[in-house]
């Protein structure tokens, strides 16, 4: 990772596969990291400098997470990695209104409220910073049976681009990482059989299923000094899935 000035970082969804790796990489880079999740007991397993139990799908929870970070680490987080997310694999005609609203709540609502709280904290403190949000390849290219989650993740990408434009004059960078199929606890049921894992891997030009570390690499880099001129971008970490068509032999 490029040289980066030590800062305070906040990682939401820190108990998840990708979130946990982002926490580890940011700490390795010398940052003090607050890990945020809904369950305090399980969150304690994450090696972090502060542990904050908060529901970032609500504006109150997002504000609470920032306030707790200030209280525990002495200031607002100038780095934000928002890794909260869920998925729904179902076509429109089999997606209920409740399922749709839950996908939007966990994915788009949490991103909006967490980014809003983070921006306000840095705006008031007159600090510069960088944020990275989590999208998905299904928002970049049509994938069957992913309508609800594609809509939610597409909203996150649009949110990030607009926020990047609004707050660039304040020195705030906002970017997005859009992973392909990643080996995490969330996808464990889909990858539990060798045949399922092999079939999933064949969809990607570079082959195989990527690791949480590989996604965390991109997220941590976007928060580093090495990405100081990058904002409003969506980086697909997907083995070429959304842009490359390999030669068929």
Residue 55: closest CA among 100, 117, 7: 117
pLDDT tens by residue, 55-89: 999 999 999 999 999 999 999 999 999 999 998 98
Question: What ranges in the chain are assigned the alpha helix state H?
Answer: 17-28, 40-43, 59-73, 97-104, 110-125, 147-167, 194-201, 212-222
Cα separation of the two ends of the chain: 37
Q: What is the mean pLDDT of residues 211-231?
A: 96
Query: What residue spans define the domains of the chain?
Result: 8-181+211-236
**CB-neighbour burial class of residue 95 (10 A; exposed 0-12, middle 13-18, buried 19+):** middle
d(CA 129, CA 240): 29
User: How confident is residue 1, by pLDDT bands cut at 50, 70 and 90?
Assistant: very low
Q: What's domain 8-181+211-236's architecture? A: 3-Layer(aba) Sandwich (3.40)
Q: What percent of the chain has pLDDT over 70?
A: 90
Given a contact cutoff of 8 angstroms between Cβ atoms, the answer to whether 156 and 134 are in contact is yes
User: How confident is residue 245, by pLDDT bands cut at 50, 70 and 90?
Assistant: confident
Using the predicted structure, report yes or no on whether residue 198 has a pLDDT greater than 90. no
């Amino acid at each position: 990772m490029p040289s980066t000035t030590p800062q305070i970082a906040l990682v939401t969804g820190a108990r998840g596969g990708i979130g946990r790796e982002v926490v580890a990489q940011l700490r390795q880079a010398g940052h003090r990291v607050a890990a945020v999740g809904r369950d305090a007991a399980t969150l304690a397993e994450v090696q972090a400098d502060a542990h904050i139990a908060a529901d970032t799908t609500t504006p109150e929870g997002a504000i609470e997470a920032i306030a707790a970070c200030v209280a525990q680490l002495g200031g607002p987080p100038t780095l934000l990695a928002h890794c909260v997310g869920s998925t729904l694999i179902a076509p429109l005609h089999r997606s209920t209104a409740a399922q749709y609203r839950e996908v939007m709540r966990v994915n788009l609502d949490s991103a909006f409220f967490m980014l809003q709280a983070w921006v306000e904290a840095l705006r008031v403190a007159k600090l510069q910073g960088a944020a990275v949000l989590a999208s998905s390849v299904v928002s970049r290219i049509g994938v069957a049976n992913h309508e609800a989650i594609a809509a939610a993740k597409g909203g996150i990408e649009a949110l990030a681009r607009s926020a990047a434009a609004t707050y660039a004059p304040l020195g705030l960078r906002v970017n997005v990482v859009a992973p392909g199929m990643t080996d995490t606890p969330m996808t464990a049921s889909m990858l539990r059989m060798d045949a399922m894992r092999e079939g999933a891997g064949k969809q990607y030009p570079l082959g195989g299923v990527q690791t949480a570390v590989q996604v965390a690499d991109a997220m941590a880099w976007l928060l580093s000094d090495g990405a100081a001129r990058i904002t409003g971008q969506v980086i697909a970490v997907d083995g070429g899935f959304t842009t490359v068509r390999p030669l068929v032999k």
